[in-house]
A = this chain, B = another copy of it.
Amino acid sequence: MTRIVMGIDPGFSITGFSIVASEQGGRIVLRDCGGFTMSRSLTLAQRITLFHHFFDAKIVEHSVNVVALETPFLGKNAQNFLKLGYLRGMLYFLHDRHQTLLLEFSPREVKQTLTGFGAADKDQVARFVLRLFPSLRVPNSYDVTDAIAVSLCGLWHKAYVTAK
């Protein structure tokens, strides 16, 4: 079964996302990627709903069967951590509805997998990603390259995708 992985780096200002698949012969194809933004003029609840609908549609459109996330850590702002939970909760919900596999990786695992160095910085991760996909336009922020990185971890992870 072809593994089609959606990597997501969720956030209320921008959510980086990436959909990768390994085709026959082992070639890795970047099917979609981008930064999803939501207007600040919407209420929190409207943005949560929009987020849900956007990624629900992406899963269906690309027949995603693995959702890959990075484990979050509490930053300076506890309320932002709680709000991140609102978006992550939606991804759990979508994973369950569409019966995908859900894989979570620590930031260190992601860096280690991509660069061979667990303490690599975001720029090193981005450079690896851009080397793998030379046709990718260099994004303005690391959100997209971070999402591509976590989607690649999902692709290369040893766990078998159980057919549903």
Contacts and interface: CB of A to CB of B under 8 A. Distances in A.
A54 interface: no
A31 to B, nearest CB: 24
B88 A90 contact: no
Interface in A108-151: none
Size category, A interface: 20 to 34
A69 to B, nearest CB: 12
Nearest to A67: B45
A45 B88 CA distance: 10
A41 B79 CA distance: 29
A85 B89 CA distance: 7
A19 interface: no
A73 B72 CA distance: 18
Interface of A: 43-46, 48-49, 52, 72-74, 78, 81-90, 92-93, 95-97, 102
Given A83-B85, A90-B93, 4 more contacts: A44-B92, A72-B82, A82-B84, A86-B92
